[in-house]
Amino acid sequence: MVGLSVGEKHFIQGGIAQDLRSDGRKRLTYRPIYVETGVIPQAHGSARVRLGATDVIASVKAELGKPSALQPDKGNIAIYVDCSPTAAPMFEVGRGGEELSTELSVALQRCLLGGKSGAGAGIDPTSLVVVEGKVCWDLYIDGLVISSDGNLLDALAAAIKAALSNTGIPKVDVAADATSDEQPEVNISDEEFLQFDTSGIPVIVTLTKVGRHYIVDATSEEESQMSSAVSISVNRKGHICGLMKRGGVGLDPSIILDMISVAKHVSEQLINKLDSEIAAAEASEEES
Amino acid sequence: MRGLQLPLSQTQRIRLQRALEKLQSLSCKANSDASVTVADTIPVNYEDAFLKGHGTTDLNGDLVATLCGVVERINKLVYVRALRARYKPEVGDIVVGRVVEVSQKRWRLEINFSLDAILMLSSMNMPDGIQRRRTALDELNMRCIFEENDVVCAEVRNFQHDGSLQLQARSQKYGKLEKGQLLIVDPYLVKKSKQHFHHLEQFGIDLILGRNGFIWVGEHVEARDSMVVDQANSSEQSRVPEEKNQTHTPLEMRQNICRIANAVRVLSTLGFSIDADLILETVELSSTVKIDIHDMLGSEFHVLVAEREPERRSLMGKRKR
């Protein structure tokens, strides 16, 4: 990242204190979100989300697999994020790109997949099972960061939500005469697809604390000035699905509670905006 | 035109298309035959002796372009000038750069060129204003003048024999830039003009259009009186950040700075040449339409600016005649 002079840093901090950021946004305004779906035809679902200069792609691939012995009625979901070296020089292999990738992957898994038992997950794993105990769908969700200008977590969560709305899982016919020991025969249909129900998927709102105020959707310049950042995953009902804090500076507990209420408030508009953008993207994809 | 990465609705797309078509028809028709793409033959009179310049090559006896650009002819030299090339410095250009390194008797600046530019200590006015020989003490105190990551405005002095650039900042108007924001646009959008320093009086804002594509928008600073201060005082001041905290930019000036910065961003997304008049007109347009500062970066304002441009250019053309 390019460094900033003392004068510029002072200007950014002053702007945040006066509720007028460098591009004219208020503290709690998002940059315009641009969603495109179906960008990767080979995947079962994909989406590209642009948030200012931040550009991320998410793709969903489904394969048939065996459910784990502990949870025979649930499918498997894996989320993995890769930061492409073209996004920033610091993402090159061996220079910290892997750390950031693991951090983002873990954060997304916590927010979207819920706990170890699968409880409270945004994506319902029971809808992925085909034959209980024997066959289930394995979902591999991959995120790729193409260009980074701050706020990667929000953009990735939005991209995953859009990709899942775009996903069509092929319908599976199970041969009826399977015995209980053998693997049943499955017939994967090429024609019919089941759409995923994405109304329960949460979005992530990252609040970056600079000085005494918090801002939403920080650019990478503003992120370089942050003292700490809290990412809160909120779903449509207003429930919190995940919480993550970055940054070395300690926070008073009352500030965290305040941030959570601010995030809830912001997430309502964000969810509505995102849903309308996803609907528009799917509509234009069908036209083309 | 590069794919505009804006969420345009159907009507906005049509309006933008029409505006761009009008602009194309307005542009000098004489030049339309001078633009070439890769592997186009360049029309040359082969009997005249001519020199093949950059961007051309001899293929089967024909002169063929190897770049996408415009054919330029100067006396006997025929070459192709690329439209979106890296910044090509000329002596006397005003550039804005960021200090990357402080080394022996010089600062190295990044200016969006293939090499870093060099600003020698001797090409810089001393803080006490006296013209004197730079001593070893001056060299040790270079950090008091410019540090790493500082934004500096300077002028191109000459080229070194190895191709790198030398800058000078001897006049009062050059030097460190604070209290504002730096914008980066493509260098080809800033054309050479008489004035690159613009003091916008109605806003109280300095606008510096660096020819390398770095544009500075910031509070107006009087001609460097602060430099004529004792060295001891200046080093003390830089260690007292609390003073600075109380003197934030006033809100109204900040709004104007943001409006101008957004105008520059809009013009750069649309690919229009950036000069002070156009920026001021864009800002006026945004005030008349009563659009929020942040909404200036939305698709509606982009389409409005694009629609206004052909009218403006035809008006300018009529005024010239």
Report pLDDT digits (tens) over B204-255. 898 999 999 899 998 888 765 444 444 444 444 444 444 444 567 788 888 8
Q: Stretch B264-290: mean pLDDT, rounded?
A: 89
Predicted TM-score of the model (pTM): 0.84
Residues A22, B181: C-beta atoms closer than 8 Å: yes
Rounded Cα distance, A165 and A271, in Å: 13
What's the confidence (pLDDT) of residue A205?
A: 92
CA-based torsion, A267, A273, A276, A277: positive or negative? negative
Task: Tell me: ipTM over 0.85.
Answer: no
In CATH, which superfamily holds the domain spanning A6-287? GHMP Kinase, N-terminal domain (3.30.230.70)
CB A270 within 8 A of CB A30: yes
The DSSP result for A117-150, as a single string, is T-TT-SS-GGGGEEETTTEEEEEEEEEEEEE-SS
Q: Residue B256: how many CB atoms within 10 A of its CB?
A: 21
- Using CA coordinates, name the residue in chain B closest to A50: B5
How many residues are there in chain A? 288
Of B178, B244, B293, the CB nearest to A24: B293
Q: Count of residues for chain B?
A: 321
Alpha carbon distance A121, B216 (integer Å) = 48
Dihedral over Cα of A187, A189, A192, A197: its sign: positive
Chain A contact probe: residue of B8, B178, B216, B264 with most A CBs at under 10 A: B178
pLDDT, residue B249, reads 77
- Residue B259 with chain A: CB contacts under 8 Å: 24
**Rg of chain B's alpha carbons, rounded to an integer?**
23
Per-position pLDDT tens, chain A of length 288: 567 888 888 888 888 888 888 888 888 989 888 899 989 988 988 999 998 888 999 999 988 888 887 777 778 888 999 988 877 777 776 667 788 889 899 888 888 877 666 566 677 777 777 777 788 888 899 999 988 888 999 999 999 999 988 888 888 777 765 555 556 667 777 666 777 777 788 899 999 998 888 899 999 888 888 889 999 988 888 888 888 888 888 889 999 999 999 999 999 999 999 999 888 888 887 776
A50–B258: do the CB atoms touch at under 8 Å?
no
How many contacts does A have with B, using Cβ atoms within 8 A? 88
pLDDT at B319 over 90: no
Residue of A nearest to B146 (CA): A5
What are B82's strand-pairing partners?
B69
Asked whether the CA dihedral B215, B216, B222, B226 is positive or negative, the reply is negative
- A169 three-class SS: strand
Q: Best of B110, B247, B248, B252 to disrupt the A interface by mutation (most A CBs within 10 Å)?
A: B248
Comparing CA positions, the residue from A199, A248, A241 lying closest to residue A227 is: A248
Kindly list the residues from chain A whose CB atom is less than 8 angstroms away from the CB atom of residue B303: none
More confident: B46 or B286: B286
Rounded to a whole number of angstroms, the distance from the CA of B218 to the nearest CA of chain A is 9
Q: Which residue has the tokens 């979902």?
A: A139
Compute the distance between CA of residue A112 and CA of residue A123 in angstroms, rounded to an integer. 7
Q: How far apart are CA A241 and CA B158, in angstroms?
A: 60
Residue of chain B whose Cα is closest to the Cα of A7: B178
β-pairing, B165-169 with B117-124? parallel
Nearest to B19 by CA among B307, B266, B294: B307
**B5 → closest Cβ in A6, A14, A34:** A34
Nearest CA in chain B to A30: B294
pLDDT at A183: 64
pLDDT value at residue A84: 82
Higher pLDDT, B27 or B80: B80
Q: What percent of chain B has pLDDT over 70?
A: 87
Residues of A with CB below 8 A from B255's CB? 20, 24
How far does the CA of residue B316 sit from the closest CA of chain A (Å)? 30
Which chain B residues are closer than 8 Å to A288 by Cβ?
none
For B61, the token pair is 């006896």
Sort out which chain A residues have CB atoms less than 8 A from B301's CB and list them: none
What six digits make up the tokens of A223? 């992120």
CA–CA separation, A64 vs A137, rounded Å? Answer: 5
Which residue on chain B is closest to A18 by alpha carbon? B251
In a 10 Å sphere around its CB, with 0-12 CB exposed, 13-18 middle and 19+ buried, how is residue A55 labelled? buried
Segment B169-191 mean pLDDT: 87
Structural contact between residues B144 and B232, judged by C-beta atoms closer than 8 angstroms: no
SS3 annotation, chain B: CCCCCCCCCHHHHHHHHHHHHHHHHHCCHHHHHHEECCCCECCCCCCCCCEECCCEEEECCEEEECCCEEEEEECCEEEEEECCCCCCCCCCCEEEEEEEEEECCEEEEECCCCCCEEEEEEEECCCCCCCCCCCHHHHHCHHHHCCCCCEEEEEEEEECCCCCEEEEECCCCCEEECCEEEEECCHHHCCCCCCCEEEECCCCEEEEECCCCEEEEEECCCCCHHHCCCHHHHHHHCCCHHHHHHCCCCHHHHHHHHHHHHHHHHHHHHCCCCCHHHHHHHHHHHHHCCCCCHHHHCHHHHHHHHHHHHHHHHHHHHHHC
Higher pLDDT among residues B28 and A205, named by residue? A205
- The answer to whether the CB of B119 falls within 8 A of the CB of B105 is no
What are the residue ranges spanned by the domains of chain A? 6-287
Looking at residue A153, what is its pLDDT? 92
* Amino acid at residue number B72: E
Res B227: pLDDT? 45
pLDDT, average across residues B25-53: 76
Cβ pair B294:A18 closer than 8 A: no
Higher pLDDT, A120 or B57: B57
